[in-house]
Structure 1
Amino acid sequence: MNHIKRMHIKGLKKFKDIDIEFNEKINILVGENESGKSTILEAINIVLNQQYRSIDKYILKDLMNINSMKDFHKNPQVNNLPSITIEIELELDNQANVDTIYFRGINDKDKGQFEKFGILFECEFDKEFEDELRSEIEDGVIPFEYYKLTWSTFQGSSYNIMKKPLRTISIDNSIADSNSSFNYFNKSLFDNKYSSSDKMKARNSFRNEVDLIFNALNLEGLGNNRQFGINSKKTILDNVLTVYEESISLENKGKGMENLIKTEIALNKSKNKLDVVLLEEPENHLCHSNLLKMLDEIKKNTNEAQLILTTHSNMIASRLDLRNILWIGSDEAISLNKIDQEDAIFFEKADQNGILNLLLSKKVILVEGPTEYMLLPIMYEKIIGKSMEEDFITIISCNGIAYKRYLAIAESAKKKVAVITDNDGKQNVI
């Protein structure tokens, strides 16, 4: 199965340098707010779909790692200018629709000795302008207008998006204004559904029909040999596409139902048309029953495509197997794939659990049940003089002796945890 095997990010937003190993099928990105989960999905789009290929160069300032820019300002030299490198290593089958030789080679940036499949993105200062801009740079100016963006395969060839090795779709349920994300979804779906010849035929027919309909109106001219006409640059089929269900467009279905249907469509397409599905916070705007329905769809349709999703939902993290979690820290991505299978199954079946509360908290105290859960904050504030929230401490009730399973997760995620339990009447047990 074609999929993303590994990604190395250097200098993009919050990531100064990070390596991420992906699972072949399901990847659940978990981390605190601003940990960089969305940046990982963005990095994949930058490389595979050449996002930002045509942009105002000044936007690069928002993409650069702030610590890299600080390092430059401490010692403003040409060689210290901030840059971005994103390298994606691919696992490719020998299929007729993928030119594997085009992507195969030894990547110099990786310093490796073995041939791999992959694509490299670089955003860096164009050294051709080094002499004329040296004085400005040494005064602390970062000349983003003189940066160049390049995409290349591990073979060394310039990456052409028409030879994209993985068919992808991105669904962002995290933003309130869905217009831009929905347009992107529609375009991606249209692009992956039909052949190049069918798409070209549809676009040309649409443009021609619009012209014919307008000309048939026979509108009176404006005088001086002037008249209204259709701007062909604006009559683009992709910009007016939408998806209908039972004669109602998905945009008008309500945000929760829209998210559910978009996800279902993407996952159903993954059976034979998609290789990678990128999903941002699928739980947004969904009630409990619809979230369960979405999880069922994900489980049924992830055998044919790789799924990379971000979430803050305990249910999603546990129901899709904790061993698929990638805990995103400031400079590392920790896989929980070493968790014992019995522990993973326990949390998958548990009615309620606080597994993400454990992962997302700075300090955690595990207690056995509701009594300790209610009394501990009162005791803490009385003794310490501050609330547990002020000290960034989270209490998790484990509903019995399940704290041992929580400790196994904490160990895998390198979390510091304290446990408070009763001795059940045993005088020699503290």
Structure 2
Amino acid sequence: MNHIKRMHIKGLKKFKDIDIEFNEKINILVGENESGKSTILEAINIVLNQQYRSIDKYILKDLMNINSMKDFHKNPQVNNLPSITIEIELELDNQANVDTIYFRGINDKDKGQFEKFGILFECEFDKEFEDELRSEIEDGVIPFEYYKLTWSTFQGSSYNIMKKPLRTISIDNSIADSNSSFNYFNKSLFDNKYSSSDKMKARNSFRNEVDLIFNALNLEGLGNNRQFGINSKKTILDNVLTVYEESISLENKGKGMENLIKTEIALNKSKNKLDVVLLEEPENHLCHSNLLKMLDEIKKNTNEAQLILTTHSNMIASRLDLRNILWIGSDEAISLNKIDQEDAIFFEKADQNGILNLLLSKKVILVEGPTEYMLLPIMYEKIIGKSMEEDFITIISCNGIAYKRYLAIAESAKKKVAVITDNDGKQNVIDSKEEYNKDKVLQRIFTDG
């Protein structure tokens, strides 16, 4: 199955330098706010779909890593100017195919020794202007208007988007601007659904028919040989496309239903038209039943396309298998694929679980039941003089000895966790917990006795 195998990001927004290994099928990006989950999806679009190819260069300032810019200002030299590098390694079927060979080569950027398939994006200062701008640069000016954006395959050829190796679609349910989100979805769907020949015929026919209809109106002229006409640059079919269901456009079906239907369409198209589906916060605006329906659609189509999604939903993270989670930290992506299968199944079946509360918290205290859950915050504030929230501590009730399963997740994600439990007056229980604590730094079990 064609899919994204690995991505290396250097200098883009939050990421100074990060490597991400993707699963072939489902990838659940989880992290705190501003951790860079959306930036990862954006990076994929930048490389595969040449996003930002035609932009005002000054926008590059918003894409650069802030620490890279600070490093430059500490020592303003041409060689220290901030830059962006995004490298995507691909796993492609039919590796002997002529179109596929176009992406095969040894990528010098990662000092590789073996041939791989992939695309490299670089945004950097154009050294042709080095002598001309040296003095301004050494005065601390970053000349973004003299930056160049290049896309190349691992073979060394310039990347032509018409030879795009993976068919992708992006669905962003996180933004409030429904129109821009839906327009992008419509264009992507149209682009992936039809052949280049069919799309060209449709666009030309649309433009010609608009001209014919307007000319048939025979509007009175403006005088002095002037008259109204249609600007062909504005009669672009892609800009007016929308999707209808039972004569109702999806934009008018309500935000939650719109999100659900867009996801269903994308997943259904993946059976023979799409390789990668990028999905931003699919839980937004969905009631419990529709979220379950969406999860069912995703599960049914996991063998058809690679899915890369971001979420803050406990249900999505657990129902789609915790082993598919990529925990996005500071310049680090931690896979939870080493979690024991039994632990993953436990959380998949547990409707009420706080697994993302665990992953998204700086510090966590696990307790066994509701009594401890209610009393501990009161005791903590009385003894410490501050609330648990002020100390960025989250408390999670595990319903008995399930804390062991939470600890397994915490170990994989390198989370700081304390467990408060009783020992039932049994020495062997005390001994086993002391044994657990011996080689642990971030996780500890506290018990009486």
Deviations 1:312-368, CA, capped at 9 Å, x for gaps: 000000000000000000111000000000000000001210000000000000000
The answer to which of 96-105 and 214-223 deviates more is 96-105
Deviations 1:61-86, CA, capped at 9 Å, x for gaps: 00000000000000000000000000
Deviations 1:354-385, CA, capped at 9 Å, x for gaps: 00000000000000010000000000001011
CA distance in structure 1 between the aligned counterparts of 2:198 and 2:95, rounded to whole angstroms: 22
Deviations 1:367-411, CA, capped at 9 Å, x for gaps: 001000000000000101100000000000001110000000000
% identical equivalent positions: 100
The answer to which of 87-96 and 72-81 deviates more is 87-96
Kept in 1, the 8 Å contact 2:105–2:116? The answer is yes
Kept in 2, the 8 Å contact 1:373–1:395? The answer is yes
Kept in 2, the 8 Å contact 1:28–1:311? The answer is yes
TM-score between the two structures when normalised by the length of structure 2: 0.94
Question: Offset at 1:95?
Answer: 6.9
CA distance in structure 1 between the aligned counterparts of 2:194 and 2:428, rounded to whole angstroms: 72
Kept in 1, the 8 Å contact 2:3–2:92? The answer is yes
CA distance in structure 2 between the aligned counterparts of 1:104 and 1:195, rounded to whole angstroms: 25
Structure 1 residue aligned with 2:391: 391
Question: Offset at 1:96?
Answer: 9.1
Aligned to 2:427, what secondary structure does the other structure show? Answer: coil
Question: Offset at 1:302?
Answer: 1.5
CA distance in structure 2 between the aligned counterparts of 1:239 and 1:40, rounded to whole angstroms: 26
Structure 2 residue aligned with 1:29: 29
CA distance in structure 1 between the aligned counterparts of 2:238 and 2:45, rounded to whole angstroms: 19
Deviations 1:244-273, CA, capped at 9 Å, x for gaps: 001100000000000000000000000000
TM-score between the two structures when normalised by the length of structure 1: 0.98
CA distance in structure 1 between the aligned counterparts of 2:177 and 2:157, rounded to whole angstroms: 38
Question: Offset at 1:100?
Answer: 1.2
Do the aligned partners of residues 274 and 212 (structure 1) sit closer, same or farther apart at CA in structure 2, a change above 3 Å counting?
A: same
Question: Offset at 1:424?
Answer: 3.2
CA distance in structure 2 between the aligned counterparts of 1:235 and 1:112, rounded to whole angstroms: 47
CA distance in structure 2 between the aligned counterparts of 1:161 and 1:303, rounded to whole angstroms: 26
The answer to which of 407-416 and 87-96 deviates more is 87-96
Structure 2 residue aligned with 1:136: 136
Aligned to 2:218, what secondary structure does the other structure show? Answer: coil
Unaligned runs of 5+ in 1: none
CA distance in structure 2 between the aligned counterparts of 1:179 and 1:428, rounded to whole angstroms: 62
CA distance in structure 1 between the aligned counterparts of 2:329 and 2:363, rounded to whole angstroms: 15
CA distance in structure 1 between the aligned counterparts of 2:96 and 2:155, rounded to whole angstroms: 18
CA distance in structure 1 between the aligned counterparts of 2:80 and 2:96, rounded to whole angstroms: 44
CA distance in structure 2 between the aligned counterparts of 1:161 and 1:288, rounded to whole angstroms: 39
Aligned to 2:327, what secondary structure does the other structure show? Answer: strand
CA distance in structure 2 between the aligned counterparts of 1:101 and 1:364, rounded to whole angstroms: 49
Aligned to 1:118, what secondary structure does the other structure show? Answer: strand
CA distance in structure 2 between the aligned counterparts of 1:97 and 1:122, rounded to whole angstroms: 26
CA distance in structure 1 between the aligned counterparts of 2:116 and 2:340, rounded to whole angstroms: 31
Deviations 1:25-79, CA, capped at 9 Å, x for gaps: 0000000000000000000000000000000000000000000000000000000
Confirm or deny that 1:176 pairs with 2:176: yes
CA distance in structure 1 between the aligned counterparts of 2:230 and 2:103, rounded to whole angstroms: 42
Kept in 2, the 8 Å contact 1:53–1:149? The answer is yes
Kept in 1, the 8 Å contact 2:270–2:304? The answer is yes
Kept in 2, the 8 Å contact 1:125–1:146? The answer is yes
Deviations 1:167-226, CA, capped at 9 Å, x for gaps: 000000001111111001000000100111111111111111111110111000000000
Kept in 1, the 8 Å contact 2:95–2:101? The answer is no
Do the aligned partners of residues 23 and 427 (structure 1) sit closer, same or farther apart at CA in structure 2, a change above 3 Å counting?
A: closer
CA distance in structure 1 between the aligned counterparts of 2:269 and 2:287, rounded to whole angstroms: 24
Question: Offset at 1:423?
Answer: 2.9
Structure 2 counterparts to residues 272-351 of structure 1, below 5 A = 272-351=272-351
Question: Offset at 1:308?
Answer: 0.2
Kept in 1, the 8 Å contact 2:30–2:37? The answer is yes
CA distance in structure 1 between the aligned counterparts of 2:361 and 2:416, rounded to whole angstroms: 10
Question: Offset at 1:98?
Answer: 7.0
Aligned to 2:102, what secondary structure does the other structure show? Answer: helix
Deviations 1:285-325, CA, capped at 9 Å, x for gaps: 00000000000000001201000000000000000000000
Structure 2 residue aligned with 1:198: 198
Unaligned runs of 5+ in 2: 430-449
How many residues get paired?
429
CA distance in structure 2 between the aligned counterparts of 1:95 and 1:88, rounded to whole angstroms: 16
Kept in 2, the 8 Å contact 1:98–1:163? The answer is no
Kept in 1, the 8 Å contact 2:363–2:392? The answer is yes
Question: Offset at 1:425?
Answer: 5.0
Aligned to 1:99, what secondary structure does the other structure show? Answer: helix
Do the aligned partners of residues 405 and 189 (structure 1) sit closer, same or farther apart at CA in structure 2, a change above 3 Å counting?
A: same
Question: Offset at 1:422?
Answer: 2.3
Kept in 1, the 8 Å contact 2:103–2:118? The answer is yes
Structure 1 residue aligned with 2:89: 89
CA distance in structure 1 between the aligned counterparts of 2:420 and 2:96, rounded to whole angstroms: 59
The answer to which of 176-185 and 403-412 deviates more is 176-185
Kept in 2, the 8 Å contact 1:98–1:165? The answer is no
Deviations 1:127-179, CA, capped at 9 Å, x for gaps: 00000100000000000000000000000000000000000000000011111
Kept in 2, the 8 Å contact 1:359–1:415? The answer is yes
Aligned to 2:165, what secondary structure does the other structure show? Answer: coil
